Each structure stands twice: as structure tokens, then as C-alpha cells.
Amino acid sequence: MRIGIDGRKIPEAKSRGPISSLDHAKSLGMEGVFFRTILDVSPELDRGIIREVRQRANELGLYLEAGLGKVNPYALPETPEVRAIGGGDTLLGFRRMMESCAEFGINELWISTAGAKPYKGRFGTDRFRTDVSWEDQLEATRRFLLKLKPIALDLGIHLNLETHEEITTFEILRLIEAVGDDVIGIVFDTANVLIRGEHPVMAAKRIAPFVRQTHLKDAYVELVEGGACQKAVHCGAGLVDFPAVLQELNKYNPGLNLTFENDVPRSEWGIIPGEPHLIELYDPEWIAGHPDLSREEFAAYFELARDYTERIRTGEVKSWKQLNAEPFEYAEAVQWIESSRRHIDEICRKIGLPRETAADVCRVD
């Protein structure tokens, strides 16, 4: 297992560009970079630029991963660049991105079903859209993935669905069954599953055989009136049991890359801290929208959140309002990254998980 970072979220990514971001990642002790989409490397899919990034990653001994974009046709209009790279042909746009990745040995590709929205409660995700049902969105996603399948098989690549805020692990597993695990895998975001009421360790046990990429982050979950508040925090500061999660993942993929997804400096992205995500745990519509959740898992989830809420109440953990009041710029983002790296590295050592560093890769090369 090697430890790396999200190429879109690494501090100063926009100003540095992809090649300089690789050097920056190396200086922060990272062993790889996971660019969210290949268009983050080159918006025009310039083979010369992608080749330079591939070569620089090899020189630094860094793993290189990337992605494509949203595969839910109802969400595709939010990323017009995907259609544009195909000259108006969405499927061709995906093909061109996939071919660019395969040409340079980037064979594990992130995809997602939607994106988070700036609305409170259940409308913060596309799961509860009122213009189209979630079932229709999942069916449209299945059909589109079947169109991508022959391309992926021909190129020898995997398309990995993220455990994103709007989708459950149960639904991802059904999509894998419908389309085939020969082309569809999972990007495990360890904090997002909490938004869907899933216990991180129980979710890991369900999906571990199919996890091929990761977004590691911890989570703050506080029980409040109307449900629970969820906010991403650095690894070790939240309630995710990383020793149990990593042991489960290691059973099936000892060579899995562990990629951090950190918060970005607020000034870089023009972010104004707002309220955390509200999970409407007690709302009848929310409950009805999660038919796969068992009583046992919901009880375990609630106990996990209750214990963490008690830590907040006693002052052991800062409240989200306290966290929002603190500065979060370059120095704080780097601290997030370094704290997460130390936490995960220490866990790997303690429980005896195999660690392959960038130095090991360079020696092999």
C-alpha cells in the first residue's frame, strides 16, 4: 500500500499545474497523486502534456491515477467539458478520455453518479431530486455504463464508482453485478458512506472485494435535532475506524493505493464555511429512501455517532462552529495532509500492512 493525495485538492493545485503538483506532493511525503479527471491533467487531452506528467511521476516514484467524470446522464450537464472533448458527442468524449489514460498506463479510473449540492438536508444530493427519481437515475447510469463497457474491455481499464454522497454501497454493488466486475470497481470514500447512514466498517466489509481506488478522509458526525451533522476532517480526528477498514481492504487488495482527499484552502476556491451536511436520519422520506439499511447497521451507526457526539459535548472534540471559525489556508491544509499521512502510516505499521514507498519503486525501476 502506498499513500498519496487527490490531485485536485492538493494545496495550490490550480496555480502549480499538474507537473509542479507532482513535485509538491513528493515534498509533502506523498507516494502518489490521484487526479480527479484526466482533464485536470490536460483539458485538451494533449498527449505531450500527459506524457510529461507520466514521465515525471515515474521519475519521482509516484503512482498516478485519474478519472473521467459523472456517468449519471441526469448529472452530465453539470460537466459540459466531458461533452465538449467529444465535440458534442458525450460517448466519444468518454472514449477519448479513456484512450488517453490507457495510452499512458493509467488504468484505474474514477467515476461518480453525481455531485454535492449547496442545499440543506436531503436536497444536498441528487438522491432526492423531485424532477427525476433516484431509481430512474440509477437505471440511466446502468445503461450508460453498459455503453462504456466494451470500450473499457478493449482498453484493459477499470471504471471505479465512488461511494459518493448520493449513492449507497448496496446500489453500487448492484450496478457492478449488472454491468460486470471485469470493468466496474469502487473508489471507497471512507467518510461519504456516513451520509447514507452506513457504518464505515460494515460498508468496507461489503465492498472490499471490489475496491480499486480510495478517497481517505475521516468524519465529524454529531447527533442534532432532525438527524446528524457530517463534516470531513483529517484522518484520526473523526470516528472512522481506520485499522478495521484498512485490514478489510488489505484482505483483497494488498497493493491498493491509499489516497487522501483533504479540504482545500478556503481562499484558493473562494469557500465561505457553512453548516455541515445535515443527514435527516429521522425523516420518514429519508428512511424510506434507504430500504437496504438493516436495523443492526443503523443501530451500530447510531452508537458510533452518539459516542462521537459525547466527545463533542465534553470538549474533547471541537464543534463544527469552532472548526469553521478557525483559519484554513495553505498551512492548515498541509497540516491536514501531514497529520493524515502520519496516522495512516502508523496504523499500517501497527497492524502489519505491507507498505511500498516511492523509494522502493525507484529501486525496482
Query: What's the 3-state SS for the chain?
Result: CEEEEECCCCCCHHHHHHHHHHHHHHHCCCCEEECCCHHHHCCCCCHHHHHHHHHHHHHHCCEEEEEEEECCCCCHHHCHHHHHCCCCCHHHHHHHHHHHHHHCCCCEEEEECCCCCCCCHHHHCHHHCCCCCHHHHHHHHHHHHHHHHHHHHHHCCEEEEECCCCCCHHHHHHHHHHHCCCCEEEEEECCHHHHHCCCHHHHHHHHHHHEEEEEECEEEEEEECCEEEEEEECCCCCCCCHHHHHHHHHHHCCCCEEEECCCCCHHHHCCCCCCCEEECCCCHHHHHCCCCCCHHHHHHHHHHHHHHHHHHHCCCCCCHHHHHHCCCCHHHHHHHHHHHHHHHHHHHHHCCCCCCCHHHHHHHC
pLDDT digits (tens, 9 = 90+) for 196-206: 999 999 999 99
Dist. CA 335–CA 94, nearest whole Å:
36
Q: What is the mean pLDDT of the chain?
A: 95
pLDDT digits (tens, 9 = 90+) for 212-258: 999 999 999 999 999 999 999 999 999 999 999 999 999 999 999 99
Nearest to 18 by CA among 54, 63, 47, 72: 54
Residue 358 has pLDDT above 50, yes or no: no
pLDDT digits (tens, 9 = 90+) for 3-22: 999 999 999 999 999 999 99
Dist. CA 186–CA 214, nearest whole Å:
8
C-alpha distances in angstroms, 235 versus 206, 216, 220, 347, 350? 21, 7, 11, 11, 16
pTM listed for this prediction = 0.95
Q: Which CATH number fits domain 2-219+232-269+327-364: 3.40.50.1220, 2.30.31.70, 3.40.50.720, 3.20.20.150?
A: 3.20.20.150
26-49 b/e (C-beta count within 10 Å ≥ 16 → b): beeebbbbbbbbbbbbbeebeeeb
Percent of the chain at pLDDT above 90?
93
Domain boundaries, the chain: 2-219+232-269+327-364
